Amino acid sequence: MARRGRPRYPASIENVTITGLADKGFCVGKTEEGQVIFVEKVAPGDVVDVRPFKKKKKVLFAAPTKFHQLSEERVEPFCQHFGVCGGCKWQHYAYDAQLREKERIVHDAFNRLAKVEVGQWEPILGSERTQYYRNKLEFGVANRRWLTAAELGDDNVSNEASVVGFHKAGAYDKLIQIDHCHLQHGPSNELRNGIRELAIELEIPFFDMRERHGLLRQMMIRTSTLDQCMLVLAFFEDDQDNIKRLLDAILERFGQHLSSLFYCINPKVNEYLMDLDMVHYHGAEYMEEVLGEVKFRIGPKSFFQTNSRQGKELYDVAADFAGLTGSENVYDLYTGIGSIALYLAQTAGHVVGIEEIPEAIEDAGRNAALNGIENTTFYAGQVKNILTPEFAEKHGKPDVLITDPPRAGMHPKVVKMLLELAAPRLVYVSCNPATQARDLAVLDEKYTVERVRPVDMFPHTSHIENVALLKLR
């Protein structure tokens, strides 16, 4: 058997200057010789010695071993779980500096990848709330917890514990116990911790991720700016006696916080809940949220902007870029539950939305009816299959086209069809500036980029939303 060779990188590198933020909590650094390295757990402005641990496509990934200089823009993290949880990896970096870096990342993507000229760069729109801004969180439940490096060396410390929290990266079978999370507003922390204590009191078995047994497996909490709260519990087995016992106890102790209660049975290997049947147990069958003048009913499986308040700001930017006057024919691609389509409908002639997920389109239709909006039409199916010349002939060519694709960007067939449709105005909303830049490079054949504005939806993370207005040449 062939012996594994030595790693193709040095054991350590000294005096790496950290120059900027990158994806997934990493920062970009450069050696004195100019080699680019991605370093974790540092901040722009730090100067560090590092230990490389991976090489991918000629790029090194490393961890810091010694700090020679600390960034002047470092701040004290506000969360007790920072550095272990990994959910908010930039808490140690001032928010103004985060915004500056996110703006730079968008500029770099457009200049380096798209290589297109931008008529007007508009400043990044920061989030008024940098804590308690999410309306949805999912927590794992387990009978083992992740141990810190110090705890691993202590024979008196056990990893056996009833835990409700988040996965540690790379530890599929263990969770980090989260005592207080600064992400979600409303009664999220009280519910999570209280239900954990209640399940322990009732001797409800917590899920064993390694041996795959137990009962209580997952918890999803949705909250709204209208002070409504939906709880969804996932159980590994359909043990009705214990499920009913726990749910009834939750309603007795925490019912004042809950507008909706659902449960589901998840016997699968993965923790994805959206393909499971949701059982309505108590309260309303939906939760309500409002963006601007549009009210939305959100079910346990609905797809909705995770930051409601900043979602309105994002849609306001999209509406400004769209420049509707009340008569335009609008296409909204990747419409989800029709949130942008319904938000723009009041100033459009007609809006046609396309979304791959049928349940989302059902939500879109219900929300249109809820708001008395009659000038929308929604289709379920893949955009690349539905958006055809025949579709355009049936609905008329768009005056304005909105597209808000997933992180992977638009399918090449969709980009090609956009060139054929040649809508006078195209508003591209993206959660990934790199794939947005890639698509814009192709659309450059017929379009100029008139305006660009990044919007920060998720403070203390690497995620960036960006809105671009394209006009036909």
d(CA 62, CA 467): 33
d(CA 73, CA 81): 21
pLDDT of residue 174: 78
Same domain, yes or no, for 372 and 355? yes
Kind and range of the H or E element at 107?
helix 95-108
Residue 189 has pLDDT above 90, yes or no: yes
Of 284, 318, 342, the residue at which a domain comes to its end is 284
**pTM listed for this prediction:** 0.92
Residue 339 included in any domain: yes
Residue 425 included in any domain: yes
Share of the chain above pLDDT 70, in %: 98
Amino acid sitting at position 423? A
Residue 183 has pLDDT above 60, yes or no: yes
For the beta carbon of residue 239, count every other beta carbon within 10 angstroms.
15
Residue 44 included in any domain: yes
Same domain, yes or no, for 418 and 328? yes
Say if residues 163 and 177 touch (Cβ distance below 8 Å): yes
Same domain, yes or no, for 187 and 313? no
Active site residue 431: yes
Residue 298 has pLDDT above 60, yes or no: yes
Length in residues, the chain? 473
Same domain, yes or no, for 214 and 330? no
pLDDT of residue 4: 56
What domain range includes position 417? 97-130+307-472
pLDDT of residue 1: 44
Residue 364 included in any domain: yes
Residue 293 included in any domain: no
Question: Domain count of the chain?
Answer: 3
Residue 328 has which token pair?
Answer: 């335009």
Residue pLDDT, tens place only, 361-389: 999 999 999 999 999 999 999 999 999 99
The CATH number of the domain holding residue 393 is 3.40.50.150
Instruction: Give the gyration radius of the chain's Cα atoms.
Output: 24
Residue 417 included in any domain: yes
Same domain, yes or no, for 433 and 373? yes
Tell me what the mean pLDDT of segment 343-347 comes to.
Answer: 96
Residue pLDDT, tens place only, 22-67: 988 899 998 878 788 999 999 999 999 999 998 888 789 999 999 9
Share of the chain above pLDDT 90, in %: 85
Q: Does 326 or 34 have the greater pLDDT score? A: 326
Same domain, yes or no, for 313 and 452? yes
Kind and range of the H or E element at 390?
helix 389-395
Confidence of residue 153 (pLDDT cuts 50, 70, 90): confident
The CATH number of the domain holding residue 30 is 2.40.50.140
Same domain, yes or no, for 120 and 154? no
Same domain, yes or no, for 273 and 361? no
Same domain, yes or no, for 340 and 464? yes
Residues 6+ apart with CB under 8 A from 365: 338, 378
Residue ranges with strand state E in 292-420: 294-298, 329-333, 350-355, 376-380, 400-403
pLDDT of residue 160: 87
Tell me what the mean pLDDT of segment 331-351 comes to.
Answer: 96
pLDDT of residue 6: 59
Catalytic residue among 27, 79, 88, 431: 431
Tell me what the mean pLDDT of segment 241-247 comes to.
Answer: 98
Tell me what the mean pLDDT of segment 139-151 comes to.
Answer: 86
Residues 6+ apart with CB under 8 A from 334: 354, 355, 356, 383, 403, 404, 405, 406
Same domain, yes or no, for 334 and 460? yes
Residue pLDDT, tens place only, 84-141: 887 899 999 999 999 999 999 999 999 998 999 999 999 999 999 999 999 999 999 9
Same domain, yes or no, for 108 and 188? no
Of 49, 69, 89, the residue at which a domain comes to its end is 69
pLDDT of residue 363: 93
pLDDT of residue 35: 82
Same domain, yes or no, for 395 and 376? yes
Residues 6+ apart with CB under 8 A from 366: 297
The CATH number of the domain holding residue 274 is 2.40.50.1070
- Three-class SS state of 112: helix
The set of long-range contacts for 196-200, using a CB threshold of 8 Å and a minimum separation of 24, is: 196/141, 196/162, 196/163, 196/164, 198/246, 198/249, 198/250, 198/253, 199/162, 199/246, 200/162
pLDDT of residue 303: 87
Residue 468 has pLDDT above 80, yes or no: yes
pLDDT of residue 2: 47
Tell me what the mean pLDDT of segment 5-17 comes to.
Answer: 82
Of 51, 69, 87, the residue at which a domain comes to its end is 69
Residue 440 included in any domain: yes
Among the listed residues 408, 441, 463, the one whose alpha carbon sits nearest the alpha carbon of residue 118: 441
Lowest mean pLDDT among 20-24, 375-379, 409-413, 419-423: 20-24
Residue 290 included in any domain: no
d(CA 32, CA 15): 7
